[in-house]
Amino acid sequence: MTAAPGPRKRPRRLTARMRLTLSYTLFAVAAGALSLAVVYVGMRYIPNYPLTSSNPRYRSDAPSRQQILDSLLAAGGYALALMTAVGLVGGWLIAGRVLRPLQDITRAAHRAASGALEHRIALTGPRDEFTELSDAFDEMLERLQRSFEAQQRFAANASHELRTPLAITRTMLQVAAADPGGQDWGVLVTRLQDTNQRAIETSDALLQLADLGHAPPDLAPTDLAAATREALAAVRDEARALGVTLTADLRPAPTTGSPVLLRQAAANLLHNALRHNLPAGGSATVTTGADPERPGRVRLTVANTGPLLTPEAVATFTEPFLRGRGRTAGTDPARRGHGLGLTIVAAVTEAHHGELRLAPAPDGGLHATLTLPEAPPGAAPAG
């Protein structure tokens, strides 16, 4: 078993603050030395006339050019030494002030690495590179926190959904083993088959959802209308059994995607529209075609009758294992789902760079719209 790689060891170097301090100091000293050199060279080209008084009786004590140059070099040396000291102290303080936001970001990164994702930097001050980095880091932490929380809920719900049919099967088998003669074996077998089928459907949906999250689909020119037509053919018997009237208006909707996944997304939207409909006399309408509101995109819409829904409830429908009536599976096997249908639709839509919009209908029911980029002109549909 290979051990997990630890943090990569880096060679020991000067800190960024020290490097900035030395850079500031070096720049200041270099600028001072250059100024001194320019003055020194300029002084050497001054004519070296002897300085005498107009009155011969007076003796001049004026310094010579060489004496002036020597004094200039001495004063320049002291000035450069002072600039070096001031540059080191000032550069250290300025570098610390400039790098303080980076230290806040580093501390937040260490806290995030330890699992504390609720912390935010919330850096204040003028808009600069550090505040942009801070805002980007806070946004990343927020998305990571939402993702981890969703994964935790998904794992808990998946465990519950997979454990429930197993627990039901165990209970039925224990009852049958305790009283073999008092069992209706036909009913028992039917119930076991129904429970087992529910577990299989949930497992298949989980596997499909996991595949969508790890491997990008194979994209090819296809027609969303053709995928929807195949999905309609697969659900018409269920619609008749549930007493739901299906109405379809399928116009060409060329796009680029996976025909299999798009057919699955359309089938899931249709299953949701059928199973979460009115008890009797319900209807569902399916349309495909160009999106009139957004040129360059195609769309699939599925609208169904049903109970009144609130926008807050609809906003949670793509969360795993949330059904129309909450987290409890329905008692009618014909209307019961595994709670992953719309979650898979959302994953398929994201994999195709599309958008899924769910909205409650004013008179009850749900209005689902799946939009995808339109295929470029001349692209031949797959198959």
Number of Cβ within a 10 Å radius of residue 11: 4
Query: How far does the chain reach from its first CA to its final CA, in angstroms?
Result: 46
Most confident of 28-32, 160-164, 169-173, 227-231: 227-231
Tokens 């000291």, residue?
Answer: 85
Q: Do the beta carbons of residue 244 and residue 335 sit within 8 Å? A: no
Domain with CATH 3.30.565.10 in the chain: 220-373
Per-residue pLDDT, 266: 93
Q: Do the beta carbons of residue 113 and residue 47 sit within 8 Å? A: no
User: Which tokens is 322 given?
Assistant: 């949330």
Q: Do the beta carbons of residue 248 and residue 215 sit within 8 Å? A: no
Element (H, E) at 290: strand 282-290
Residues 6+ apart with CB under 8 A from 361: 303, 304, 305, 306, 309, 367
What would the pLDDT profile of 114-125 be if each residue is shown by its tens digit? 777 777 877 777
Most confident of 1-5, 13-17, 278-282: 278-282
Tell me which residue of 309, 316, 323, 227 sits closest to 275, measured CA to CA.
323
Cα–Cα distance measured from residue 206 to residue 248, given in angstroms and rounded to the nearest whole number: 30
Cα–Cα distance measured from residue 265 to residue 354, given in angstroms and rounded to the nearest whole number: 12
Q: Is the pLDDT of residue 227 over 90?
A: yes
Cα–Cα distance measured from residue 248 to residue 224, given in angstroms and rounded to the nearest whole number: 13
Q: Is the pLDDT of residue 288 over 60?
A: yes
Cα–Cα distance measured from residue 114 to residue 108, given in angstroms and rounded to the nearest whole number: 10
User: Which tokens is 223 given?
Assistant: 């027609």
For the whole model, what pTM was predicted?
A: 0.55
Task: Tell which wins on pLDDT, 191 or 311.
Answer: 311
What would the pLDDT profile of 74-91 be if each residue is shown by its tens digit? 887 788 888 888 878 888
Cα–Cα distance measured from residue 270 to residue 268, given in angstroms and rounded to the nearest whole number: 5
Amino acid type, 174: Q
β-partners of residue 283 are 245
User: Which tokens is 119 given?
Assistant: 């912390």
β-partners of residue 191 are none
Tell me which residue of 93, 103, 98 sits closest to 25, measured CA to CA.
93
DSSP 342: H
**What top-level class would CATH report for the domain 220-373?**
alpha beta
Instruction: Note the helical H segments in the chain.
Output: 16-44, 65-113, 129-178, 185-214, 224-242, 259-275, 311-314, 341-351
Question: CA neighbours within 13 Å on the CB side: how many for 331?
Answer: 0
User: Which tokens is 221 given?
Assistant: 């020119």
Q: Is the pLDDT of residue 374 over 90?
A: yes
Question: Please, what sign has the CA dihedral across residues 223, 224, 226, 230?
Answer: positive
Per-residue pLDDT, 350: 87
Per-residue pLDDT, 123: 75
Cα–Cα distance measured from residue 13 to residue 19, given in angstroms and rounded to the nearest whole number: 9
DSSP 94: H
What is the Cα 272 distance to its own chain's centre?
27
DSSP per residue, 173-219: HHHHHH-GGG--HHHHHHHHHHHHHHHHHHHHHHHHHHHHHHSPPPP
